[in-house]
Structure 1
């Protein structure tokens, strides 16, 4: 029987796959998408490395052009634990990404065979309970991206995942079925809309009429029994399965609660931001009115009122949208450790690390440029928004 902790992490990874897809990444879920770099393993998709092959539960490829760089791919791993993620996990992430980046294909240059790297891989590690100080120091040095989901801005995401995991545990208990990973993954990815858009199955075979109808059926209850899950996930030939209608109910509920609730922010810094809009349609409307560049102000909670959240608002003072996020703990702790230096350090962080943040929204790249708002009361410049 799968543990509740492991199940929560598994569900969170599927949710983050949707987040990745919404932010300009094409999900890689089939060997057919890249037979040279990908292979099928016992428990799902593997990425070939120089020394070993590595599990890729969530793997995305950036669809935007990356000038003077190889095409970018990112591993996503989620940890939903009661304790902070430690140095061991950060080291494992570095080992994986270093090994796959050392894998070379062979290209012909005239009469010679030349080893060629085809992609640049990165690794993003998400945690609902934060990271230990050694893990943060190591990850920052090795360019492993750590995303802390423990702040209040992400409570809706973690609570929805927790509820779905509890419903699945109850369903597994009532039906007395070993965890059918393939069937559950199929159900989640149908509800979340994260199957590859080329229509190929997990084994690289051509799409069938039945698979197409399952993927595009609008009914909230779709049959995802053992036959369908095995066709999509031949590595998981489960002999027993959960009741399809009840499983799809869990998957659909989770999807309805989290889809469209978060954005990824990419600052010119060695970390990424997960942004929670207070009102996503309001942000979308503001972006339409400001198509080239969005000038913003960034505020944060002081040591006197530390919620852990920062907020991005329009620089024109209109307050038409708000995007909330948390900084990496190592940076936030340094920022707030000396209350007398908070304003100065915050100014340096915003003018340097957060001066330009890119967000992928509605199929285009939006640039958020820091432009501080002018306040009549100097004390307001460091207050929580």
Structure 2
């Protein structure tokens, strides 16, 4: 029987996949979901991806074919960990590095046979999502091996989702609800896709479980916009909004913004051109990567130094996602005039 942390991790992974679909990724649950099924298969444990040396069971796989020229289509290996009281350590990252490396080299295996000429080569990336952060050795190892780490600590819009997931216990599942990981994933995915009534939920979950699952589903639906970006071309961010980003604010591919944040790691980009309540207003919420948090931490007593650190480390985000129903690659840029005013006011 699955442990509580495994069940929570499975639910969190499904929540992440739900948000990835909002971005515009295609979730691959079976070989026929992919644009090329030659390196995928399903066995009793679920979906497996062929590596150079072995087949690897992957709980969460997403595909994105909206890639720039001179790049192969993207496949994202997704792993989510829900440890409310402890950080993700280096063993989790080390395992991701090994799996990612072997799968990234499966092209050599796929093309050994002469009848495999039509198979597609993919650009594989691996991302780990956590509700409680990572240890420093895990961060250092991930950075060295290009494993992307996403943290949700302190992001207001997703905090209710995290609380609902962490409230879920093994005892919340009935025997009919299936207490194994794949069973839990399937049930929760069905709930997200079909908005089942309480009668369906009560056959799979206890009353306490029904309440928790409903809360996770409802809180997820409250996240209207989901986007991924790279801060300064280096730090990966999952940016979330209450409503989908307004197309009105993105008439151009570069949008000038102001940046606000606090020492708890809760940061937002908001547009210079619009005020809250206006048609083009938005608020992109994200968690500050730990490396940048360490740079900001000594500066909090001096607002001028805080502003200078913002200028050096937050000048732009290259961001992708659906805006106005269209896949867009845009640039969120820190407005220098706003920053200069901010600096001047705080120096005075």
Question: Structure 2 length normalisation: TM-score?
Answer: 0.82
Q: Give 1:35 shift.
A: 3.3
Q: Deviations over 1:70-101 (max 9, x none)?
A: 11000110111121111121111111111001
Q: Distance in 1 between matches of 2:60 and 2:288?
A: 23
Q: Say whether the 8 Å CA contact 1:298–1:310 is kept in structure 2.
A: no
Match of 1:337 among 298, 319, 327: 298
Q: In the TM superposition, what are the counterparts of 1:208-247 in structure 2 within 5 Å?
A: 220=197, 243-244=203-204
How large is the RMSD of aligned CA atoms in angstroms?
3.2
Q: Deviations over 1:232-266 (max 9, x none)?
A: xxxxxxxxxx8248688765542222135151221
Q: Give 1:183 shift.
A: 3.7
> 1:7 — aligned with what?
7
Structure 1 residues 308 and 136 mapped into 2: Cα distance closer, same or farther (>3 Å)? same
Structure 1 residues 364 and 222 mapped into 2: Cα distance closer, same or farther (>3 Å)? farther
> 1:349 — aligned with what?
313
Structure 1 residues 107 and 337 mapped into 2: Cα distance closer, same or farther (>3 Å)? same
Match of 1:309 among 263, 266, 288: 266
Q: Say whether the 8 Å CA contact 1:187–1:248 is kept in structure 2.
A: no
Which SS does the other structure have where 2:111 is aligned? strand
Question: Structure 1 length normalisation: TM-score?
Answer: 0.74
Q: Deviations over 1:121-173 (max 9, x none)?
A: 1100011110111111111121100011222433122112224x24x63333x
> 2:18 — aligned with what?
18
Q: Distance in 1 between matches of 2:3 and 2:12?
A: 14
Q: Say whether the 8 Å CA contact 1:359–1:368 is kept in structure 2.
A: no
Structure 2: tracts of 5 or more residues without a match: none
Number of equivalences? 327
Q: Say whether the 8 Å CA contact 1:76–1:125 is kept in structure 2.
A: yes
Q: Distance in 2 between matches of 1:35 and 1:366?
A: 27
Q: Give 1:366 shift.
A: 5.0
Structure 1 residues 249 and 323 mapped into 2: Cα distance closer, same or farther (>3 Å)? same
Structure 1 residues 322 and 379 mapped into 2: Cα distance closer, same or farther (>3 Å)? farther
Q: Distance in 1 between matches of 2:105 and 2:171?
A: 40
Q: Say whether the 8 Å CA contact 1:127–1:147 is kept in structure 2.
A: yes
